[in-house]
Structure 1
Amino acid sequence: MRARTAAPADAVYALLRDGASWPRWSPLGSFELVRAGAGEPEGLGAIRLFKTGGVRSYEKIVALEPGRRFGYALERGLPLRDYVAYVDLSPRDGGTDIHWHSTFEPKIPGTGWFYRWFLGSFIRRVAAGLARATA
């Protein structure tokens, strides 16, 4: 999914790093830091829990490149295997292009199409919320 904001990449990256901010600008319901990461609370290896309705998604931070890239892997919460998502930030014309993309394998055969559709729709809303929050 792609979005654009007038904000600089560092401002967008700061919101991505701040898990507590996600419920303010995305459809996610609540945030909890389950385990601190290397060297800082939301550093590499940190486990963040997002609750939305009855879904509890445990996500591990796997990539931190200031102003450029944020990545996380789903530890548990959805019937998916090897879910990894990256948010790539590219400065352009005084603003930032946001590219949010993920890969995964469904645990239940035949459900891949559904999760591609569902997560595509959900991530589209999350990326749009991030762009609005930083505009």
Structure 2
Amino acid sequence: MIRATSVRTVSAPPETVWAVLADHEGMSAWAPGLKVAVTRPGSPEPNGVGAVRKVGIGSPGPIVEEITAFEPGRRLGYRALAGVPLKNYRGEVTLRPSGSGTEITYAVEADKRLPAGEAALAKGLATVLLSGLVRGVGTAR
């Protein structure tokens, strides 16, 4: 298995970070070029466990993800159902209060199939996704 983690602390409280993180269709605002649509709501929270989101990034096609963990203010997890070159791709974002702000940990993991490139791809994904989320939190305040 490969796992990559990226960590940043922002000056916003966990509730503000969560509001940005849990708004799936709002990802388009902090991840330029993405078009996100919830194609199946979760239960009991529409953006919660069981929700399926389609993340359009252009060619070759959309990434389809299912929400697997939804703990408001603390943790959001998802797994790819289609469209990702990594086998059994999963992501998890955890939030932890840090002073007057929030420490955000973005972790991605997948099954290892190739000797090298997948680890670099996973690290790149964790870093880029976290940077986008931090940008989104900055504009939400």
Under a length normalisation based on structure 2, what TM-score does the superposition of the two structures give? 0.85
- DSSP 3-state at the match of 2:79: strand
CA RMSD of aligned residues (A): 1.6
Deviating above 4 A after TM superposition, structure 1's stretches of 4 or more consecutive aligned residues are none
Using a 3 Å threshold, how does the CA distance of structure 1 residues 80 and 88 change in structure 2: closer, same or farther? same
Pairing 1:20–2:32 present: no
Note if contact 1:28-1:50 (Cα within 8 Å) is conserved in structure 2. no
Q: More deviation in 123-132 or 90-99? A: 123-132
- Return closer, same or farther for 1:96/1:14 CA change in 2, 3 Å cut-off: same
1: CA distance between counterparts of 2:68 and 2:17? 18
Q: Where do 5+ consecutive residues of structure 1 fail to align?
A: none
- How many aligned positions are there? 132
Q: Is the 8 A contact 2:90 2:108 kept in 1?
A: yes
Question: In 2, are the aligned partners of 1:27 and 1:126 still within 8 Å (CA)?
Answer: no
Which residue number in structure 2 is paired with residue 41 of structure 1? 46
- Name 1:118's counterpart in structure 2: 121
Bigger fraction of residues in strand? 1
Task: Classify the secondary structure of the residue corresponding to 2:111.
Answer: strand
Secondary structure of 2:62's match? strand
**Which ranges of structure 2 fall in alignment gaps of 5 or more residues?**
1-5
Q: State the identity %.
A: 30
2:101 equivalent to 1:95: yes
Deviation at 1:16, TM superposition (A): 1.2
Q: Using the alignment, how far apart are the partners of 1:47 and 1:81 within structure 2?
A: 18
Tell me the equivalent position of 2:70.
64
| Aligned residue number for residue 77 of structure 1 | 83
